Structure 1
């Protein structure tokens, strides 16, 4: 099945997981073999000017984000006075005025949440050094923007860098590491049929509850308790302990600096609540921040979780194979492109070259997909449908094999690794050269 990419060109994309045949057979699944190229070969296919970082251009985008946030905030100041006024109540009736008031707040939360997320993405650019070739500029702007949005910048930067260096590695990736069959206590079939409903069968209401919980709480839970992170880490691994396994001795001062930023935010919010009231702080700042957490988790989850994307065990993993194991998505259309700085539309190229600035992502992606062909993944599926589908379809991977694909609540996959990768026996080691 072909989809169009964001520029209108047709290309192979993630298969529609809703089209799984009624009669399922592993023999009927298409086979996958990992990409063979070295990173140098892929980089050579992309013009050098697309790797150039322009500090002034980055600052202009940040200034625009801050201006939009200020304008939205200023307009929101008129919502309650306007619709609580006697004139509005006479014109619309008490119920009508109340409905209109909360509708305006919903509009504010939607757009301010997107704008705040765009500011977070600028901090993300800084974390990778993509915002500017001047390191101190990246450090200062990244620290300020992420601290204002409750992210411990330097601590997160360290673990996020390790995620990029090890993406799609079952042994070393930092986030969205798939559960295995044995993690869920599901026995091997060995010729007899497994009742997957017994292990994975949840009601749609419970599934929706778990999905909403993920969207609202997953990022704080990851920072505080390593939820969805590498399961080989100790139990109390978190981003706030300078002695955590996540950090080296030389990085401890950066963790402490990040913690001081969060303490500053705690004090600032407390003072703001004392000055203007907790309800006002929640309406103007709290709910838009919660939107940042939602959008960020949704974006990253859908980048890295899809039935078509492989995960690897040693020795088949290498950097470029891991970079290709992500998917570009048409996330909220023009709003995703403008407010979120293409973070979802062009994420694959970002994993190959994290220091490439976001404003070169669209052009660079055209060169990338031309070179790697079917190993480039793109999906036009509406993102909320994709979120629901992937949450249900991506349940676990097998305990054996060096190339792995998700299985759904029936134990079914939509693609399988070529024979030599299924059990890990006889597979030629992958080149670790980048």
Structure 2
């Protein structure tokens, strides 16, 4: 290890993992916050569908006015084109947020947080997620695995850190070694980040990108025989595939009727924004220099649940359109069946109880994304409690006891 890294680690803040039990944590949260109200969930879903419909009507009306209304006679063509672009950019931004909020409600259904009736949850969740190109049952199954093993280097399903050996960084690396292996230009880093945001979710579903490294090649969410699933889950995986197949037919029919460009403008680009927001939210929820990952016996459910971050994601827009999915994620990992509309109140109790073990950030969303992507490069090959190291091999924290899975 380089002298720079050695000196850095001598002054790195120490970290002692959480030792509370799930029962202790649950006892500090009022029982009424675990109650599920289907009528309230339906009200939020109805609101979101109304907003999505209003957004479609608004951009159609605005485009019609700019192209055929009296405005087209009063303004220069360049001004009209500028206003049209402004209107469409606004539509893509807000419709993307609205549809992401609808996707979040489908996610609630998958956890059983929408209502007490799992059949109703699955019907609503299947319709929502299928309409947004997510194989509902297949993703529900892998997402459940993520929740029961969050933060585990061996068992977590997503955002499993790369190790020193994965990147072929020698144990005695110097500052020059780190620069040669990790020292991308800002432009290259930006390209890789944009690629993650646009292709991350489809790549995970289709190719297990960012998933467990020990899964067989070609593991994906559409193969009912994939290692992700058990034989008893074969039928629901096929049902999810049929749903996506139906969406392909619907999309083809819409393109045949309205034209591919029109469909892409009204639906395709907002859907790309959904994948962007989904990846950004989940990446920032589970990735930060100060948040640990665990190996072997050092991992417990409560440690994994606490190894998440609440973020002030897009401010009021994240709270309103995304139902606070990023603002109150820590409590969601402890209690995934808790409805999202109780998240804020439950988080107050959780924060007071966890103290220093509660992770949150008020940094601006896009700055957080850049800083996190730039700083979180890899973790060590050995050790039970692991923290990301930056492009010079420096960690932001280290465990009180450096033990190989026995902390």
Aligned pair partner of 2:300 in 306, 318, 325: 318
Unaligned ranges ≥5, structure 2: none
Cα shift readout 1:71-94 (whole Å, capped 9, x = no counterpart): 111111123221122732332201
CA distance in 2, matches of 1:184, 1:316: 24
Closer, same or farther in 2 for the Cα pair 1:407/1:22, shift >3 Å? closer
Instruction: Tell me the residue number matched to 1:338.
Output: 320
The reply on whether 1:354 has 2:333 as its aligned counterpart is no
1:218 to partner: Cα distance: 0.3
Aligned pair partner of 1:373 in 352, 355, 358: 355
Aligned pair partner of 2:311 in 321, 329, 332: 329
1:251 to partner: Cα distance: 0.1
Unaligned ranges ≥5, structure 1: 1-20, 429-434
CA RMSD of aligned residues (A): 1.5
The reply on whether 1:185 has 2:162 as its aligned counterpart is no
Instruction: Tell me the residue number matched to 1:7.
Output: none
CA distance in 2, matches of 1:24, 1:336: 40
Instruction: Tell me the residue number matched to 1:271.
Output: 253
For the 8 Å contact 2:175–2:392, the answer to whether it is kept is no
1:23 to partner: Cα distance: 10
For the 8 Å contact 2:5–2:393, the answer to whether it is kept is no
Where do 1:161-200 residues align within 5 Å? 161-189=144-172, 195-200=177-182
Instruction: Tell me the residue number matched to 1:41.
Output: 24
For the 8 Å contact 2:298–2:384, the answer to whether it is kept is yes
CA distance in 1, matches of 2:42, 2:375: 41
CA distance in 2, matches of 1:368, 1:35: 13
Cα shift readout 1:358-416 (whole Å, capped 9, x = no counterpart): 00000001111111110001100001000000001000000010000000111111111
Aligned pair partner of 1:79 in 58, 62, 71: 62
Instruction: Tell me the residue number matched to 1:69.
Output: 52
Cα shift readout 1:133-157 (whole Å, capped 9, x = no counterpart): 1111100000000000000000000
Larger mean CA deviation between 275-284 and 80-89 belongs to 80-89
The reply on whether 1:56 has 2:39 as its aligned counterpart is yes
Higher helix share: 2
Instruction: Tell me the residue number matched to 2:211.
Output: 229
For the 8 Å contact 1:79–1:105, the answer to whether it is kept is no
CA distance in 1, matches of 2:351, 2:68: 56
SS in 1 for 2:72: helix
The TM-score, its normalising length taken from structure 1, stands at: 0.91
CA distance in 2, matches of 1:367, 1:292: 31
For the 8 Å contact 1:89–1:96, the answer to whether it is kept is no
For the 8 Å contact 2:5–2:394, the answer to whether it is kept is no
Larger mean CA deviation between 301-310 and 68-77 belongs to 68-77
Aligned pair partner of 1:407 in 384, 389, 395: 389
> Number of aligned pairs?
404
CA distance in 2, matches of 1:129, 1:86: 48
1:194 to partner: Cα distance: 5.4
The reply on whether 1:239 has 2:196 as its aligned counterpart is no
The reply on whether 1:26 has 2:4 as its aligned counterpart is no
Cα shift readout 1:289-309 (whole Å, capped 9, x = no counterpart): 111000000000000000010
For the 8 Å contact 1:201–1:409, the answer to whether it is kept is yes
For the 8 Å contact 2:65–2:72, the answer to whether it is kept is no
CA distance in 2, matches of 1:268, 1:325: 40
CA distance in 1, matches of 2:83, 2:188: 32
Instruction: Tell me the residue number matched to 2:373.
Output: 391
CA distance in 2, matches of 1:183, 1:22: 19
